Each structure stands twice: as structure tokens, then as C-alpha cells.
A and B are shown apart, each in its own frame.
Chain A
Amino acid sequence: DADVTQTPRNRITKTGKRIMLECSQTKGHDRMYWYRQDPGLGLRLIYYSFDVKDINKGEISDGYSVSRQAQAKFSLSLESAIPNQTALYFCATSDHTSGANVLTFGAGSRLTVL
């Protein structure tokens, strides 16, 4: 099994629908992140969480919300999806004891909003 598992891997939805992307990890890491990847823009940080009670906005949090249900689970929600949220979404984890921000990534969730 993968260390960082994202579900669903692919999702097609319509404008205005609520969507949840889920992430779970078996690394035992305390930090979790959600990134969005768009062609030519690289990865941009949406939200990050350093523990269950510590959630922070990233560069592009508007239109998104997150929930850290447990140390191992971090979900991303789009309350009312819009077409420009069509992208590849990555969950990542890291361990603060490593001394540097070395991330372990999931395989990605491709979201298409029609």
C-alpha cells in the first residue's frame, strides 16, 4: 500500500457541486499539505496542517476548505466547484523532526469541473 493515499484518483463533476478529496497516510508524519498543480504554474499550496488543531491557509485557499480528522487524515473540500478549479490535486506529508521540509506526495487526484 502507498504511504500517502488519495481518493478519488479521478473525478468529473458539475459547476456548483460539493466535492471532497481525501488523503490518508501511514508515514506517521505530523504535517500534511494540499497542493494544486496547473500546467505552467507548478504546485501551489492551498492549505497545510502541522497537527490536528493547527490548520493554515496557503497561497490559494479561496474556494477551498479542509478538515484534519486525525493525524493520518486530511481532506480538502470544494463547497461549490467552479471550472477554474479543474486541476491535479496533491496531498503531501512531512515530519517536523527531519529538520527540513522534505515532502512525501500522494499519486494525485485529477478533478474536472464542467
Chain B
Amino acid sequence: AQSVTQLDSQVPVFEEAPVELRCNYSSSVSVYLFWYVQYPNQGLQLLLKYLSGSTLVKGINGFEAEFNKSQTSFHLRKPSVHISDTAEYFCAVSDRSARQLTFGSGTQLTVLP
């Protein structure tokens, strides 16, 4: 079984500042990794995914994440945030059978003017 830990439940940051949202996972097998975003009063939508290949993954809205196998991490970064990035962000993992997706507890990113 897999598990996901999002180390920060809330991250406040000023507009145009960089941000990193941390995610660590636990698994005894190879995994797929995902970041989803949930805007207020909406469902989740895929931000980016790591399946294989390059460990640096680029997603929508200027976000990127780096898969680090030795540290079992998949941190999400953006060099300059906007007010519109205010949302809750979820890291998720599945094994290569892709039968189930396990989510972390979420990180609320609040971008301040």
C-alpha cells in the first residue's frame, strides 16, 4: 500500500513570491505521482503527473514538480504566484497497477496581495 504526507497544511505567500508545496510518499514499489488543485467550490483538476522519464515535470499554470526517488518526494513549485493560484493542492500516488489513487491531506495555498 502507498501513503502520502503533505508536510504543510497551510502556506501563505505574497503575490509574485516563489512557493514550494512539499509532498513525501511511501511505497515499496514503483509509483505514479500526481498533483491536483481544487479551487473554491469546485472539484479537483489535474495539475501535473509523473509517470516515467524526466524527473522534472511541468504542469499547467506555470507549476512544476520534481520527482526525487532517493528522498521519496514530489515537491510542487512555482517561481512567481498570482492571487488566482489561491486554492487547495493535493498530492496523490498510485502503484503501477493504477487500481487506486491515494491522496494526501492537502495544502491550502493562500496568495496575499
The answer for the CA separation of A50 and B101 in the assembled complex, in Å, is 13
- Give bound CA distance, A67 to B94, whole Å: 24
Stretch of A12-20, A69-77, A79-87, A98-106 lying at the B interface: A98-106
Question: Looking across the interface, which residue of chain B has its beta carbon closest to that of A6?
Answer: B43
Q: Judging by beta carbons under 8 Å apart, are A103 and B46 in contact?
A: yes
Known contacts A41-B105, A43-B90, A48-B100; A102 and B9 CB within 8 A of each other: no
The answer to whether A100 and B103 touch across the interface, beta carbons within 8 angstroms, is: no
Q: Mark A48-75, 1 if CB is under 8 A from B, else 0.
A: 1010000000100000000000000000
- A99 to B52: give the CA distance in the assembly, Å: 11
With a CB–CB cut-off of 8 A, which chain A residues contact B105? Answer: 40-42
Please determine whether B43 and A108 come into contact, CB atoms closer than 8 angstroms. yes
| Contact yes or no, A40 B9, CB < 8 A | yes
Q: Which of B6, B101, B104 contacts A101 (CB 8 A)?
A: B101
A42 CA / B98 CA spacing, docked (Å): 19
Q: Name the one of A45, A50, A105 contacting B44, with C-beta atoms under 8 angstroms.
A: A105
**Smallest distance from the beta carbon of A31 to chain B beta carbons, Å?**
9
Q: Return the contact of A42 from the options B46, B49, B99, B103 (Cβ within 8 A).
A: B103
8 Å CB interface, A9-38 against B: 35
Check B100–A107 contact: CB distance below 8 A. Answer: no
Cα of A67 to Cα of B100 in the assembled complex, Å: 19
The answer to whether B49 and A45 have CB atoms under 8 Å apart is no
Please name the residue on chain A nearest to B45 by beta carbon. A105
Across-interface contacts of B102 in A (CB, < 8 A):
45
A102 to B46, Cβ gap below 8 A? yes
Which residues of chain A come closer than 8 Å to B43, judged between CB atoms?
A: 4, 90, 105-108
**Which residue of chain B is the closest to A107 with respect to CB atoms?**
B43
Contact A103 B106 (CB under 8 A): no
A-B contact pairs, 5 of them (CB 8 A): A40-B9, A58-B100, A101-B99, A102-B49, A107-B43
Interface residues in chain B, defined as those with a beta carbon under 8 Å from any beta carbon in chain A: 4, 6, 9, 32, 34, 36, 41-46, 49, 51, 90, 94, 98-106
